[in-house]
Amino acid sequence: MNSASIPDVRYCLQHVRQHDFERYVSLLYAPEPERAALAALYAFNVEIARAREVVSDPMPGEIRFQWWRDALSAPEGAEIDQHPVAGAVRTVIARYSLPLSAFENLIDARVFDLYDDPMPGLSDLEGYAGETSSALIQLAAIILAKGRDPDTAEVAGHAGVAYALTGLMRALPWHARRRQLYLPADLLDAHGVDPETVFSGETTPRLHNALRELRAVAHGHLARTRAAVANVPVSVVPAFLPVCLVEPLLDRMEARGFDPLHSSAELSALRMQWTIWRSWRKAARRTSA
Among candidates 210, 125, 112, 211, which has minimal Cα distance to 164? Answer: 125
For 234-287, how does the pLDDT look when each residue is reduced to its tens digit (9 = 90+)? 999 999 999 999 999 999 999 999 999 999 899 999 999 999 999 999 998 876
CA 258 – CA 254 distance, rounded (Å): 7
Question: Is there a contact between 250 and 274 (Cβ–Cβ < 8 Å)?
Answer: no
Q: Which CATH number fits domain 116-289: 3.30.470.20, 1.10.600.10, 3.40.50.620, 1.10.260.40?
A: 1.10.600.10
Rama region for 147: left / alpha / beta (φ>0; ψ in -120 to 50; rest): left
Separation between Cα atoms, residue 252 and residue 213, nearest integer Å:
16
Give the residues of the chain that fall short of pLDDT 50: 1-4
User: What pLDDT shows up at residue 2?
Assistant: 45
Share of the chain above pLDDT 70, in %: 98
Give the burial class of 200: count Cβ atoms within 10 A of its Cβ; 0-12 exposed, 13-18 middle, 19 or more buried: exposed
Predicted pLDDT at 255: 96
CA distance 212 to 116: 23
Q: Are 153 and 236 in contact (CB under 8 A)?
A: no
What pLDDT sits at residue 39?
98
Separation of first and last alpha carbons in the chain: 30
Domain ranges of the chain: 1-113, 116-289
